[in-house]
């Protein structure tokens, strides 16, 4: 376990202000403190953002992110510095629900639902005979030059190479489960960086996906923390307090101004904070709104609002689930007529530490409702009681069990508005243009998922790199 680095703050330390206390803002504040700044963090709500906790039937559970990708070691290193224990999910696969009687384990190879080899048994089992035969053509068809040039959606890339059925049955459930968006609207380079380069190199999209998966670190693709990912926020806040960082909640920033000498003035109500360095760790639209007056041309590059998500958590007394009938959870094909949820996580099947804490027969289920279709949007925006009723029906269908209100020990609904930054076509070009405008402002850092990619691995690594301490 890495030793925690100590900050040496001089008596006349330069001042830094961080806007936003999500994970990006908390990590940025820690790095600035380590660099010797006197740091103030301003947060309109509560620390943690999408990484938060709630208590259901006496269990402290994640109300947002519940794992992190292990494609880099940024989160693991930070967890080690904070004294947190990394844990790994059970090896059981996730399943796919494509409609009544159509439940199969998801293919393990490949990325974002793209099978690493469409001839493998798990890919064939998920597709019709016609769909599987169409997917195999990817291995024999020369790469179309137009797929390698200019912006291309992930949906177009998959559809042209592997066919509509692979797109609808395998890729869309994964992508909509993560991004709450249609792959046809998402930039392939933003969602799967390096995939098109691998396509050109390997000669097929399946081989490209397999090569990206093979290049990832060995072991589980995701990991978590004992006690939940929310313990990362608790540990970061405690660390910041120990370092003398000023964490101010309920602080709605109204105006940001930059002087010609590079000094910043941040207005919060009747108060003004002066800083030599500013970090903006809000969502993309809010960041552009705050900085448009200080960075000419930025307003025209305002990114789209992210898609929101509603999470229904159920704690149930149901011994039938002890055998984990659908592994660690189920992704839902958007065309499935019998389920509205886009995904279900069987948390006590996925995380052994949680199963031990809950005890035999007691299970934690979390269903996710997004906005990929009009019906899904209607349900996601419904009142809590409606979502509970839908969650019970969907969980019973997805897990193949009888489940009713009498089985529920506790439940909660958590809504994350604008939770997932959109990576629509042209998003990468927009980000490059934004980077060009920000480059001449060295005393400003803009961090967060909207700029560097969804997921804690991307957020933590990019934030530490932006602040200059990622390699230490």
Cα 292 to the center of its chain, rounded Å: 27
pLDDT one-digit tens code per residue, 128-163? 999 999 999 999 999 999 999 988 999 999 999 999
Beta bridge partners of residue 223, listed in sequence order: 68
Q: Is there a contact between 166 and 118 (Cβ–Cβ < 8 Å)? A: yes
Give residue 28's pLDDT band: very low, low, confident or very high (50, 70, 90): very high
Give residue 199's pLDDT band: very low, low, confident or very high (50, 70, 90): very high
Instruction: For 213, list phi and psi in degrees, rounded to 5.
Output: -65, -40
Q: Are residues 382 and 405 in the same domain?
A: yes
Q: Are residues 125 and 187 in the same domain?
A: yes
- The DSSP annotation for 139-188 comes to GTSPPPGGGGSS--BHHHHHHHHH-HHHIIIIIHHHHHHHHSS-GGGBBH
Neighbour-count burial for 384-422, b at 16+ CB within 10 Å, e otherwise: eeebbebbbbbbbbbbeeebeeebbbebbbbebebbbbb
Q: Are residues 287 and 428 in the same domain?
A: yes
Strand order in the sheet with 444-446: 246-249, 38-43, 15-19, 277-280, 444-446
Domain harbouring 241, CATH code: 3.50.50.60
Give residue 335's pLDDT band: very low, low, confident or very high (50, 70, 90): confident
Burial, 100: exposed, middle or buried (Cβ in 10 Å; 0-12, 13-18, 19+)? exposed
Q: Are residues 343 and 288 in the same domain?
A: no
Q: Is there a contact between 146 and 135 (Cβ–Cβ < 8 Å)? A: no
Rounded to whole angstroms, how far apart are CA atoms 27 and 403?
41
Q: Dihedral through CA 267, CA 271, CA 272, CA 278, nearest 10? A: -60
Q: Are residues 313 and 406 in the same domain?
A: yes
Rounded to whole angstroms, how far apart are CA atoms 371 and 16?
38
Q: Are residues 245 and 375 in the same domain?
A: no
Q: Is residue 10 included in any domain, yes or no? A: no
Q: Is residue 75 included in any domain, yes or no? A: no
Furthest CA-CA distance within the chain: 72
Q: Are residues 278 and 354 in the same domain?
A: no
Rounded to whole angstroms, how far apart are CA atoms 423 and 458?
14
Domain harbouring 328, CATH code: 3.90.660.20
Q: Is there a contact between 335 and 173 (Cβ–Cβ < 8 Å)? A: no
Q: Are residues 405 and 330 in the same domain?
A: yes
Predicted pLDDT of residue 180? 67
What single-letter DSSP state applies at residue 268?
Answer: E
Rounded to whole angstroms, how far apart are CA atoms 156 and 79?
38
pLDDT one-digit tens code per residue, 415-425? 987 655 666 77
Average pLDDT over residues 233-241: 98
Q: Are residues 350 and 382 in the same domain?
A: yes
Residue 470 has pLDDT above 50, yes or no: no
Beta bridge partners of residue 454, listed in sequence order: none
Q: Is residue 472 included in any domain, yes or no? A: no
Q: Is residue 222 included in any domain, yes or no? A: no
Q: Are residues 315 and 295 in the same domain?
A: no
Q: Is residue 249 included in any domain, yes or no? A: yes
What single-letter DSSP state applies at residue 57?
Answer: T
Strand ranges (DSSP E) for 281-325?
Answer: 307-317
Judged by DSSP in three states, 304 sits in coil
Domain count, the chain: 3
Predicted pLDDT of residue 417? 79
Domain that holds residue 116: 106-213
Residue 472 has pLDDT above 50, yes or no: no
Q: Is there a contact between 447 and 28 (Cβ–Cβ < 8 Å)? A: yes
Instruction: For 254, list phi and psi in degrees, rounded to 5.
Output: -100, -30
Parallel/antiparallel/unpaired status of strands 38-43 and 271-275: unpaired
Q: Are residues 413 and 434 in the same domain?
A: no
Nearest one of 75, 23, 458 to 281, comparing CA atoms: 23
Rounded to whole angstroms, how far apart are CA atoms 420 and 418?
6
Rounded to whole angstroms, how far apart are CA atoms 126 and 142?
25
Q: Is there a contact between 421 and 302 (Cβ–Cβ < 8 Å)? A: no
Give residue 6's pLDDT band: very low, low, confident or very high (50, 70, 90): very low
Average pLDDT over residues 177-191: 80
Predicted pLDDT of residue 282? 95
pLDDT one-digit tens code per residue, 294-317? 999 999 998 877 667 899 999 999
Rounded to whole angstroms, how far apart are CA atoms 277 and 260?
14
Which tokens sit at 313?
């958590």
**pTM strictly above 0.85:** yes
Rounded to whole angstroms, how far apart are CA atoms 443 and 432?
19
Predicted pLDDT of residue 106? 84
Q: Are residues 290 and 428 in the same domain?
A: yes
Q: Is there a contact between 108 and 261 (Cβ–Cβ < 8 Å)? A: no
Which residues, in sequence order, are CB contacts of 189 under 8 Å at separation 6+?
Answer: 151, 152, 195, 196, 428
């Amino acid at each position: 376990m890495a030793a925690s680095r100590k900050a040496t703050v001089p008596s006349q330390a330069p001042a830094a202000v961080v806007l936003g206390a999500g994970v990006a803002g908390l990590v940025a504040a820690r790095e600035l403190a380590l660099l010797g700044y006197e740091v103030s963090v301003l947060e309109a709500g509560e620390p943690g953002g999408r990484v938060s906790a709630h208590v259901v039937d006496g269990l402290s559970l994640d109300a947002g992110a519940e794992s992190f990708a292990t494609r880099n070691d940024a989160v693991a290193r930070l967890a080690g510095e904070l004294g947190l224990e990394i844990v790994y999910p059970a090896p059981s696969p996730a399943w796919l629900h494509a409609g009544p009687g159509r439940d199969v384990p998801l293919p393990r190879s490949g990325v974002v639902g793209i099978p690493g080899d469409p001839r493998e048994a798990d890919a064939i089992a998920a597709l019709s005979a016609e769909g599987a035969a169409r997917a195999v053509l990817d291995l024999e068809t020369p790469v179309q030059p137009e797929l390698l040039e200019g912006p291309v959606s992930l949906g177009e890339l998959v559809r042209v190479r592997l066919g509509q059925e692979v797109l609808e049955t395998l890729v869309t459930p994964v992508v909509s489960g993560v991004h709450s968006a249609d792959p046809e609207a998402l930039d392939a380079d933003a969602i799967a960086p390096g995939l098109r380069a691998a396509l050109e190199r390997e000669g097929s999209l399946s081989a490209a996906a397999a090569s990206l998966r093979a290049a990832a670190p060995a072991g589980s693709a995701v990991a978590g923390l004992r006690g939940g990912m929310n313990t990362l926020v608790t540990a970061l806040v405690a660390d910041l307090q120990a370092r003398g960082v000023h964490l101010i909640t309920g602080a709605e920033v109204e105006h940001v101004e930059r002087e010609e000498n590079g000094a910043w003035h941040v207005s919060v109500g009747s108060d003004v904070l002066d800083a030599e360095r500013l970090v903006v760790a809000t969502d993309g639209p809010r960041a552009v709104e705050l900085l448009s007056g200080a960075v000419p041309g930025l307003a025209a590059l305002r990114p789209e609002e992210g898609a929101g998500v509603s999470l229904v958590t159920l704690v149930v007394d149901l011994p039938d689930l002890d055998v984990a009938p659908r592994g660690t959870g189920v992704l839902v094909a958007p065309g499935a007529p019998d389920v509205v949820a886009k995904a279900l996580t069987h948390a006590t099947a996925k995380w052994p530490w949680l199963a031990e804490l809950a005890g035999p027969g007691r299970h934690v289920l979390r269903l996710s409702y997004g906005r990929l279709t009009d019906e899904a949007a209607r349900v996601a925006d419904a009142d809590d009681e409606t979502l509970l009723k839908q969650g019970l029906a969907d969980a019973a269908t997805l897990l193949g069990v009888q489940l009713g209100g009498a089985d529920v020990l506790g439940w909660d609904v958590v809504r994350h508005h604008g939770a997932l930054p959109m990576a629509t076509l042209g998003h990468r070009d927009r980000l490059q243009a934004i980077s060009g405008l920000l480059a001449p402002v060295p005393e400003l850092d803009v961090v967060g998922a909207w700029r560097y990619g969804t997921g804690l691995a991307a957020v933590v690594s990019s934030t530490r790199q932006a602040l200059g301490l990622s390699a230490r």
